Homo-oligomer: A and B are copies of this chain.
Amino acid sequence: MSENQFDVVVVGAGLSGLSAARRLQKRNPQLSVLVLEARDRVGGRTVSKDLLAANGVDQWDMGGQWVSSSQTHVMELIRELGLEVFPQYTEGKKVHHVGGPHAKIKTYTSSMPSYSPLALLDFTQVLWRIDHLTQTISVEDPMSSPNAELHDSMTLHTFMEKYVWTTQVKEELALCSRIVFGLEASQVSFLYFLMYSAAAGGTLRLLETTPGSGQEFRVKGGTQQLSEKLVEQIGKERVRLGSAVMTICQNSENIKVTTSAGTVTCKAVIVACPSHLAAQIRYEPALPAERQRLTQCLPIGHMTKFIVTYPTAFWKQRGFSGEIVARPSENCPLSVTFDATSPRGSPALVGFITGVQARDWCDRKMEERRDAVISSLVKYLGPEASTYIHYEEKDWAKEEWSGGCPVNVMTPGMLTYYHPSLRKPFGSDYTRQHFRFIGPAQRRLPNGVDTLMEPFRPVRGRLWRSWLRCVLLLCPRRNWTQCELL
């Protein structure tokens, strides 16, 4: 084959794209695979960076950083690639400052903040209600869950209005939406929220640092290594950087993929970039209307991540774990922080400005955000917070080839009306011949076309199989759900 002719082209050298390429090569070493990446690096929303720290220079993840023992696929990959994980530091008091503008700063060491009796009752009943609903959700086929259509016709905010009694718990849930999705509760389909929780094994798992939860482990040396090591396995010559895909034209013969750096032809394409970016590629023939509408309503979250390095882990000395959950206000941009001390022992904190706060703060000067973050840390953890070594931040919304983080989210109606198109391959007979049709879980579509791919599988831990969902168009939104790396 010529140097610009391949069997399969993968769009996007993030975790999804690279593991798709590797999997294809493993299955069939004869297959020629090329991965195209718009940026000048691999890793997508994982990127590791050297920062000034107590031990000179040390490394932190500016993107996805956490993995969990319940995410078996990514844990398997980490082992396979010879990488190591280490637990998130959780000892000591957690700071909790939620519950209206006059809320007091509280600390706690158990798994639950100290609520007033009414708020505790409210929190318990809401969590019971959500978990009860979560248990009825089919993550394989969410629309087969009881009351699926009703739950998809309302927002998470509507659920809160209906079932949450206290301002305190309303604020908790609103924060939960910002921290988990980077979007407000009024933007998210309630069914999508339930499905997301179900995929994680429960709502609390999305937020906690306990075993099996989303913030359980970090990867020594950073998560970008996962992608870098995948590239080594695939072959460096199989990954082309600086190649933003602009058009994908299929005809009966082959598929022509035009990038900012040239054109390649192939027999199948796996689009493994976030759905809102997949929507910016021009397709000939055009994608089905259903699919187009789907990607028109999968907004991506907005989060700014910051790392602050310190000469000493003063919070540990003061008996704090470093975990803060705060109601963002005019002077306090942050929603949540954790200890981020490096495996080599360089003390640091990590935190996030999320959702509408990320929007409100993103156009200010870095110095303003930094000073506001530092003064919030002083307020919650003590005056030593002001003597930091380095403040580093990353607003993923400003990365052209990410546009935001951590995930693309479904607005109401998307699961009901357009969701099956997410994993439905489009065009190319080659796809039909070479990709296994796995399960009948997907509902038959009106036009009678069955999916060729594995049933939708956002179950935690199954990340590394999920790329198979869709051959022409694979969007890694779901992967992140499972991966829960950030």
A293 and B302 contacting across the interface, CB-CB below 8 Å? yes
- With beta carbons under 8 angstroms apart, the residue of B153, B397, B411, B413 that contacts A289 is B397
Cβ of A50 under 8 Å from chain B: no
CB of A87 closer than 8 Å to a CB of B: no
A12 to chain B, nearest CB (A): 17
Q: Is the Cβ of A417 less than 8 Å from the Cβ of B356?
A: yes
Is A161's beta carbon under 8 Å from chain B?
A: yes
Interface check A124, CB cutoff 8 A = no
Beta-carbon contact of B289 and A187 below 8 Å: no
Q: C-beta contact mask, A282-309 vs B, less than 8 Å → 1, else 0?
A: 1000101110110011111010000000
Give the CA-CA distance A276 to B356 in the complex, in Å: 22
Complex Cα–Cα for A359 and B446 (A): 9
CA distance A186 to B158 in the complex (A): 12
Contact A447 B364 (CB under 8 A): yes
Q: Please determine whether A299 and B289 come into contact, CB atoms closer than 8 angstroms.
A: no
- A294 CB to nearest B CB, Å: 9
Verify B161–A157 contact, CB threshold 8 A: no
Minimum C-beta distance from A307 to chain B (A): 21
How far does the Cβ of A361 sit from chain B's closest Cβ, in whole Å?
8
Which of B157, B279, B358, B363 has a CB less than 8 Å from the CB of A153? B157
Q: Is A412 an interface residue (CB 8 A)?
A: yes
Identity of the chain B residue whose Cβ is nearest the Cβ of A244 in the assembled complex: B282
Tell me the smallest distance from the CB of A139 to a CB of chain B, in Å. 21
Given A292-B403, A297-B187, A411-B187: A417 touches B359 (CB 8 Å cut-off): yes
Report if A121 contacts B (CB, 8 A).
no
- Check A290–B359 contact: CB distance below 8 A: yes
- A80 interface contact, C-beta 8 A: no
Cβ contacts under 8 Å, A372 to chain B: none
The yes or no answer to A484 lying at the interface (CB within 8 A) is: no
Kindly provide the distance from the CB of A2 to the nearest chain B CB, expressed in whole angstroms.
27
Chain B residues positioned under 8 Å from A302 (CB to CB): 289, 293
Is the CB–CB distance between A446 and B363 below 8 Å? Answer: yes
Task: Give complex CA distance A279, B360 in Å.
Answer: 21
Of B280, B288, B363, B413, which is within 8 A of A288 by CB? B363
Cβ–Cβ < 8 Å partners of A246 in chain B: 246
Interface string of A161-198 (1 = CB under 8 A from B): 10000000000000000000001111100000000000
Residue from the list B153, B276, B296, B418 in contact with A158, Cβ < 8 A: B153
Flag if A184 contacts B359 (CB, 8 Å).
no
Contact with B along A86-104 (1 / 0, CB 8 A): 0000000000000000000
Contact between B363 and A416 (Cβ–Cβ < 8 Å)? no
Closest chain B residue, CB of each to CB of A300: B296
In the complex, A152 has a CB within 8 A of chain B: yes
Q: Say whether B413 contacts A184, CB under 8 Å.
A: yes
Residue of B nearest to A286 (CB): B400
Question: Which residues A68-85 have CB closer than 8 A to chain B?
Answer: none
**Residue among A155, A276, A296, A416 with the highest chain B CB neighbour number at 10 A:** A296
| Cβ-based interface call for A130 (8 A) | no
Q: Which residues of B contact A322 (CB under 8 A)?
A: none
Closest to A414 in B: B187
A335 to B434, CA, bound (A): 41
User: What 7 A-B pairs come out closest when comparing CB atoms?
Assistant: A153-B186, A187-B413, A289-B397, A153-B157, A363-B447, A186-B413, A411-B411
What are 17 sample pairs from A and B whose C-beta atoms fall under 8 A apart? A153-B157, A154-B154, A155-B158, A155-B413, A158-B158, A184-B416, A187-B297, A187-B411, A246-B246, A279-B280, A288-B363, A289-B359, A289-B397, A289-B404, A296-B298, A359-B417, A359-B418
